[in-house]
Structure 1
Amino acid sequence: MDNGKKTYYINVGSGEISQLSTASPWHFKIEASDDEIITLREYFDQVYSSDIQGFLRSHTPYIQYHYDRENDAIDDTNKQIYRMIYELGDEEAKNHIRTQGLISRIDEQE
């Protein structure tokens, strides 16, 4: 049965999404539709954009981390990324996210 989903391999650190498991190192295997991959790509792009803004802001040392909007944006987007990986991931991905306590931290924020 074709549900319109394909297998993708995700490297969270680099924001890489690939259909080839041998193309580069990956952390999670997911099954996702084209629309879900577009959403995940947008999340990775948001993290990258916020990271650049945070780098520029880091030259203003009097702002502490917990008062930094760019870091808040990265934290929020990372939660969305891990939630999406958890929902679309194989059992190994789900188990890793559970054992690292990422899902409970995500749930506590809502």
Structure 2
Amino acid sequence: MQESKKTYYIDIASGEITQSPTASTWDFKIEANDEEITQLREEFDYNYNMDVQNFLRAHIPFDEYHNDKENHAQDGSLIRTYEMIYQLGDNEAKKHIESMGILPKQ
């Protein structure tokens, strides 16, 4: 039996996922089941942890961004986050993400 989907509102900057459209500002509206929300939350948590590590490492002057595997990992996670939002999002979310040009061409 497939889980029913619920409407969620996503704020990329804060990593917030809420079911209330008025609780805070939001960027994207999606329809997702519990498993999909758990996956999205894990991507946000990963990005947050990588942000902290990258902030600390940013104070090491000889680590260049383009040679930094942690930054590449975070970039990959951010793309996975946008891919999930694209797949689960409403038409407005899809159009916005398409306009950003960040997802790989398929």
Letter of the aligned partner of 1:50 in structure 2? Answer: M
TM-score scaled by structure 1? 0.90
Three-state SS of the structure 2 residue aligned to 1:21 is coil
Displacement of 1:73 in angstroms is 1.4
Letter of the aligned partner of 2:69 in structure 1? Answer: R
The size of the alignment, in residue pairs, is: 105
**Dislocated runs of 4+, deviation >2 Å:** none
Letter of the aligned partner of 1:72 in structure 2? Answer: H
Letter of the aligned partner of 1:11 in structure 2? Answer: D
Determine if the alignment matches structure 1 residue 60 to structure 2 residue 60. Answer: yes
Q: CA RMSD in A?
A: 1.5
Residues 9 and 30 in structure 2, CA contact (< 8 A), matched pair in contact too? yes
Corresponding position of 1:38: 38
Q: Which runs of 5+ in 2 are unaligned?
A: none
Displacement of 1:102 in angstroms is 2.2
Question: What is the distance in 2 between the residues matched to 1:69 and 1:22?
Answer: 38
Identity rate of aligned residues, in percent? 53
Map residues 1-110 of structure 1 onto 2, 5 A cutoff.
Answer: 4-103=4-103, 106-107=104-105
Displacement of 1:3 in angstroms is 5.5
